Amino acid sequence: MINDEYFLAALRLAAGNDPIPGHVSAAAREAYDLRVPGAVTADPAERPVARAERGENGSHSVRFVAAGLTFDLEVTVGDGLIDVTGQVFPNPGEGAHVDVRTPHLTLTRRLADTGEFAVTGLPPGWLSVVCHRPGHAPVQTRWVRIRP
């Protein structure tokens, strides 16, 4: 993972050689805006063998783990849109919520007592989930690309 200082230094070095095309600068700013300052990034992890990676309804399951939290996500594509159901465990506690993010849309959901949440009608493309817990750094999944 690149930290902010290295990223900015690389941009400054590159700018000294050739002008950076406007679309490249715009894309870099958009990517930079997607970060969650101070967040811990959860890495993909293996799911128990008893659960299939792909469901019969075209769903896709993935697990992420970091900072004592596990994210189980099931993504279903239907009618060109994405539905996400998930569970964060152990339950992150009172006041915790998740942001289900795409590059252009963020939907916030409170977690049920079981740590479950759901979001429907997202556009296909890149997706990340961030869990916010009072008194702790946010934990975010890596960005995954979901195609119809």
Q: Are 68 and 96 within one domain?
A: yes
Q: Are 68 and 16 within one domain?
A: no
What's the pTM? 0.77
Domain coverage including residue 57 = 40-146
Q: Are 120 and 77 within one domain?
A: yes
**Cβ atoms of 61 and 52 closer than 8 Å:** yes
Find the mean pLDDT for residues 40-68: 76
Q: Are 63 and 19 within one domain?
A: no
Q: How confident is the model over 54-63, as pLDDT tens digits?
A: 555 668 899 9
Q: Are 47 and 74 within one domain?
A: yes
Q: Give 18's pLDDT tier (boundaries 50, 70, 90).
A: low
Q: Are 28 and 46 within one domain?
A: no
Q: What's residue 17's pLDDT?
A: 64
Q: Are 129 and 69 within one domain?
A: yes
Question: How far apart, in whole angstroms, are the C-alpha atoms of residue 60 and residue 55?
Answer: 6
CATH of the domain at 49: 2.60.40.10
> Across the chain, what does the average pLDDT equal?
85
Q: Are 13 and 51 within one domain?
A: no
Q: Considering its fold, how many domains does the chain have in total?
A: 2
Q: What's residue 75's pLDDT?
A: 94
Q: Give 3's pLDDT tier (boundaries 50, 70, 90).
A: confident
**Cβ atoms of 126 and 27 closer than 8 Å:** no
Q: Are 120 and 58 within one domain?
A: yes
Find the mean pLDDT for residues 102-120: 95
Q: How confident is the model over 66-77, as pLDDT tens digits?
A: 989 999 999 999
Q: Give 82's pLDDT tier (boundaries 50, 70, 90).
A: very high
Q: Give 87's pLDDT tier (boundaries 50, 70, 90).
A: very high
Pick from 26-35, 65-74, 79-88, 96-105: least confident: 26-35
Residue 50 scores a pLDDT above 60: no
Residue 4 scores a pLDDT above 50: yes
Q: Are 72 and 103 within one domain?
A: yes
Q: Are 29 and 44 within one domain?
A: no
Q: Are 85 and 14 within one domain?
A: no
